[in-house]
Amino acid sequence: MVRRPPRSAEPSEEDVFYYVAFVQHFVLGRMNVSDSIYQQKEAAVERVAAHLRAARPLKRTPLYRGWLVEPEKVSGGRILVEHDIPISFSHDRGVACFFADPRSMISDFLAARRPRARGYVMTLTDWSPSQVLWAYEWDGHIPTGYPGFTMELVAGSIQGIDAGAKRAIESNLRSQKELILKPLSASAKTKLEPLDDADCPPTGELNRRYG
């Protein structure tokens, strides 16, 4: 007889509250807030993520991330970044190109403030579903008995913008096919390509596809 692994602890309503807050702030780019929630409520976030990983299993396909960083922050084919905070990737390589392109509508503001920054596309193939804290495939799924977690909920939480802008944000979040991973170890196996060598689509096409 094959023994089943023990089930993870069921998330509580409080766990779900902190989890939703963590994901909302993360996908909206409020990284200081999301990082603070994760550091203080890591166990709660993990309990909900474990529930979702079991309910909505993920396929292991390559993940991609676009970077804009200064040359001195790149060494030996790796980017020298903090390794103790969650990090986002996408199933779609084009999304990584979009964020790595300093002329794209998503990155031109940052590039203007950091003129020495250069674009890079990172590929992560050696990852485990157990590393995932949130995935766009989980849109609308949350532990039974709790409100559905959807992109409408995320967009609807933004104050001071009209309904059309909220729908646009919702659409962009869906198109980016985002996953939030636990902090990567310093030994994580990644491939890093300068934007000029990454065979990315032209800026205009990226803007039309993801903007």
Dist. CA 67–CA 79, nearest whole Å: 9
CA distances from 98 to 23, 130, 207 (A): 21, 27, 7
Q: What are phi and psi of 135, to 5 degrees?
A: -135, 145
Are 90 and 209 contacting, i.e. CB atoms less than 8 angstroms apart?
A: no
DSSP 178: E
Q: State yes or no: pLDDT of 172 exceeds 80.
A: no
Q: State yes or no: pLDDT of 166 exceeds 90.
A: no
- In tens, the pLDDT along 54-88 reads 888 999 999 999 999 998 988 887 887 666 789 99
Dist. CA 135–CA 35, nearest whole Å: 17
Strand partners, 64: 90, 123
Crossing angle of helices 93-100/203-210, nearest 10°?
Answer: 120
| Number of neighbours of residue 124 by Cβ within 10 angstroms | 19
What is the residue extent of each domain of the chain?
13-210
Dist. CA 99–CA 78, nearest whole Å: 17
DSSP 6: P
- In tens, the pLDDT along 23-58 reads 878 877 788 989 999 999 999 999 989 988 988 899
Chain centroid to CA 6: 28
pLDDT level of residue 8 (50, 70, 90 thresholds):
low
Residue 59, C-beta contacts closer than 8 angstroms, at least 6 positions apart: none
Give the pTM.
0.82
In the block, residue with structure tokens 């990226």: 206
- In tens, the pLDDT along 93-128 reads 999 999 999 999 999 988 999 999 999 999 999 899
What's the confidence (pLDDT) of residue 188?
Answer: 82
Strands 132-135 and 178-181: antiparallel
Q: What is the 3-state secondary structure (H, E, C) of 46-112?
A: HHHHHHHHHHCCCCCCCEEEEEEECHHHEECCEECCCCCCCEEEECCHHHHHHHHCCCCCCCHHHHH
The Cα diameter of the chain in Å comes to: 62
